[in-house]
Structure 1
């Protein structure tokens, strides 16, 4: 949000703590740290989503183009249906015939038509995740040893509108 606009100037101070704010807690004990570690799993999942979206967007493999071209899809199905190829995959990575048939079925469902539109929409969503998730502070929790330290740290963060909660 640009602060040069009137709306940005008004809105940014309100949403900045939500996007970038720290959550302070004290005292930092093994029990409280264990609880925070479990809560922090949510933010770890967001980071995984970001990494996946970034990989999707930057991948040289364009799934929309791949599945949108019926000839490409047919070629992939032919290769996956080949008995020699199936044996090779089974020996190398343990992928059995049932797995191959599942992939072939998925390819038949995703070739051409509206499914390409679905992939295009997924690409748009992945691009947005890739662009906007880095704008959210994922390392939210900050442990302090005492309530006095927490108060001082909260004051420091509050000056920059970087605190969201403290307990």
Structure 2
């Protein structure tokens, strides 16, 4: 069953990727977000302390992986849920109780002030043909909820199957990291590289002050060899298409993940902390062009 689910996810992913890459209007958008969705984050050095920080930084993708696993398990658990609601003696006994006028009257007293009544509960647990449903009740029961849940979970599983949730990959040295990054750039699956600079080789815990740098493809980040464009015009560099590369290139998101991962390792606190980031401010001006 698991291999069947995996195969279906691969087919959906391949179809979606081929559609995005084969559509001229969507190809540029896909190439922009492909490193974030299917790309790898390389890191070095591969030491116990670094692995600990990367594990914490990967918590978001780990949660998504668990969600996908839960969605995939529905193919096995779903039929059991259906059989339980359709044929189990427990649910059939509950249906019989709801059909009892005395029990229904007592239950309605307990449900007073809510949106539920005994007849609505009985209608939700109804498992007969549509024509046999009591008149005046909505044509919605547990089977509709089951089918909706199944459809949502299949869609979620297919979508998450298009993502590479095993993002982080170790490299022994920075030079090896660069070599691996060049390989991944060939098919657009390199997001970034993280290089830690002040760690002891065999330390199990990071130092109080952690220094790291993020290396990215120059097309996905701001250049650092100049402070002003050659053809410069007054105004803030806030154009969402030409500027803000730290945002749409994924630099800011990765930095936020790394900072929170390091904070959790250093403080052992799971409560998320807010982060406020701002690009270099630009003085107020009047655009009279």
TM-score between the two structures when normalised by the length of structure 2: 0.40
Matching residue of 1:111: 125
Question: Following TM superposition, by how much is the alpha carbon of 1:121 offset from its aligned partner in structure 2, in angstroms?
Answer: 3.0
CA RMSD of superposed structures (Å) = 3.4
Q: Which of the residues 167, 177, 188 maps onto 1:161?
A: 188
CA 1:115–1:41 in 2, change beyond 3 Å: closer, same or farther?
A: farther
| Residue-pair matches, total | 139
* SS of structure 2 residue aligned to 1:61: helix
In 1, distance between residues paired with 2:28 and 2:68?
28
Secondary structure at the aligned position of 2:22 is classed as: coil
1:17 is aligned to: 35
1:93-132: CA deviation from partner (whole Å, max 9, x where unpaired): xxxxxxxxxxxxxxx5953555645444322210111212
Give the CA deviation at 1:25: 1.1
- Gap regions ≥5 residues in structure 1: 82-107
2:116 is matched with none
* Gap regions ≥5 residues in structure 2: 1-15, 97-120, 127-137, 195-289
Cα distance in 2 for partners of 1:130, 1:149 equals 34
Q: Which one has the bigger helix percentage?
A: 1
Rounded Cα–Cα distance in structure 2 between residues aligned with 1:77 and 1:28: 58
**TM-score, length-normalised on structure 1?**
0.65
Q: 1:47 to 1:115 in 2, by over 3 A?
A: farther
**1:142 aligned residue (144, 169, 178):** 169
Distance 1:115 1:23, change over 3 A: farther
Out of 40, 44, 63, the residue aligned to residue 26 of structure 1 is 44
What CA distance in whole angstroms lies between the structure 2 residues aligned with 1:62 and 1:124?
16
> Any idea what SS the aligned residue of 1:28 has?
coil
Higher RCO, 1 vs 2 (CA within 8 Å, ≥6 residues apart): 1
Pairing of 1:2-151 with structure 2 (within 5 A) = 2=19, 3-57=21-75, 59=77, 61=79, 63=81, 67=85, 72=87, 76-78=91-93, 108=121, 111=125, 116=142, 117-151=144-178
Larger Rg: 2
**CA distance in structure 1 between the partners assigned to 2:34 and 2:191 by the alignment:** 9
Q: Aligned in 2, Cα 1:77/1:34: closer, same or farther, shift over 3 Å?
A: same
1:27 to partner: Cα distance: 1.4
Q: Where does residue 97 of structure 1 map in the other structure? A: none
Residue 22 and residue 34 in structure 1: after superposition, are their counterparts in 2 closer, same or farther (change >3 A)? Answer: same
Task: Tell me the SS of whatever aligns to 2:169.
Answer: strand
Say which SS state the counterpart of residue 24 (structure 1) adopts.
strand
Check conservation: 1:73, 1:111, Cα contact below 8 A. Answer: no
Asked whether the 8 Å contact 2:84–2:91 carries over to 1, the reply is no
Kept in 2: contact 1:21–1:164 (CA 8 A) = yes
